[in-house]
Structure 1
């Protein structure tokens, strides 16, 4: 049978040949698809870099900063409280004025004991109300603090006098005294009495809770008028 006598059209014959070729060579379609696959891989390779790659590229050639000559910032409240017994020994060695010792009578302490959890408060009549409220709130920065735990009454007395003198020498007017709040509150009672008698004390209050609460007092002192470091 000749091609002219075939009942199939030329288009149908071409389709038939293509079908036979696909059956005879099943991998030919995959081979034809390979250029498309390579194109897709090339496109993936040429994608824009991510943020990590960009950051690494930006840091190339950058040197670490030399911070060896940067001064450290020191918090004035970070230093340890002076040891009360050391202050007492220093007071004995330097010889605090007798008039200071004479002012601090123990009679008032014996007659007016305070409770362990009592909140202490004292101010002279002429002190400004705002200053006193700032002291109560802990807004006034204290110069130095002393911890009286473990002290005898006499050591505690000397330590209190010594730290007041230290503040006066540095023309500072706020100190902190940690007296504790044991069951009998002995040192707390004596500190309450001594500070009320001291001529340089303008006011004192139990510290805010975060600064010791009823186990410590913040003390406001007079400025040292004749201190050579004092500049009115």
Structure 2
């Protein structure tokens, strides 16, 4: 092409030379750019994998699952002191017989279950599964029978005063299951109790019962004296 170039004018030769330079620059840019991009991507990946060296996934059993907060369990001794200072909570159910507990003792590991005939099956199943959130709970450990009776009555009245309908009673599961037998008998006699069942394992198992109560007629506060008037 050198000979043919000589037939061109000087002006044409300048234009041709400039055109060749432009072609050379574009070709170089196109060939180099992808190589530089690949190198950068590869370096980033290498750095990332290096940073993850030795990292292992956390075992599922070590992961904390979020749970709904529950109210703290009330100590029955505290309720007993409150009753001594303020007087017992007014209730229509102070006469709960011990006869059923004496005649029908329950085993320490046995599951308690009771429901009135008209209670919906779905509601009872939710109570049994622990799906109904309890409002208040009382721990009867260390109580005498009379202290335990008073505490059960009071925790029920406390819930009804706030128009709540689920409480938990922690009776324990000692070898003789004495308080467990009494709680089983008392709750069956209480006319505000719709159902009760041994709690799921994570909520106390056979050492506690979840109790479903009738809702008060007024919300949020219910005054029995107004109903009688």
TM-score bracket relative to the smaller structure: 0.5 to 0.7
State the 1:99 CA deviation. Answer: 3.1
The equivalent residue for 2:182 is 190
| Whole-angstrom CA distance in 2 between matches of 1:228 and 1:209 | 32
Answer 1 or 2: which has greater helix percent.
2
SS in 1 for 2:107: coil
State the 1:108 CA deviation. Answer: 1.3
Asked if 1:144 is matched to 2:143, the reply is no
Change (3 A) 1:147 1:128: same
Instruction: Write the mapping of 1:147-166 to structure 2, written as runs, cut at 5 A.
Output: 147-166=139-158
Largest Rg, 1 or 2: 1
Q: 1:123 aligns with which of 115, 131, 138?
A: 115
SS in 2 for 1:99: coil
Number of aligned residue pairs: give it: 167
| Whole-angstrom CA distance in 2 between matches of 1:139 and 1:74 | 12
| Whole-angstrom CA distance in 2 between matches of 1:74 and 1:229 | 28
Which deviations, in whole Å up to 9, do the C-alpha atoms of 1:6-59 show, x marking residues without a partner?
A: xxxxxxxxxxxxxxxxxxxxxxxxxxxxxxxxxxxxxxxxx96976xxxxxxxx
Q: 1:225 aligns with which of 205, 208, 217?
A: 217
State the 1:91 CA deviation. Answer: 3.1
- TM-score, normalising length: structure 1: 0.64
State the 1:89 CA deviation. Answer: 2.4
Asked if structure 2 preserves the Cα contact closer than 8 Å seen for 1:153 and 1:187, the reply is yes
State the 1:111 CA deviation. Answer: 1.1
CA-based RMSD: 2.7
State the 1:90 CA deviation. Answer: 2.0
State the 1:107 CA deviation. Answer: 1.3
Q: 2:87 aligns with which of 89, 94, 97?
A: 94
Asked if structure 1 preserves the Cα contact closer than 8 Å seen for 2:91 and 2:157, the reply is no
Unaligned runs of 5+ in 1: 1-46, 52-72
- TM-score, normalising length: structure 2: 0.65
SS in 1 for 2:74: coil
| Whole-angstrom CA distance in 1 between matches of 2:197 and 2:203 | 12
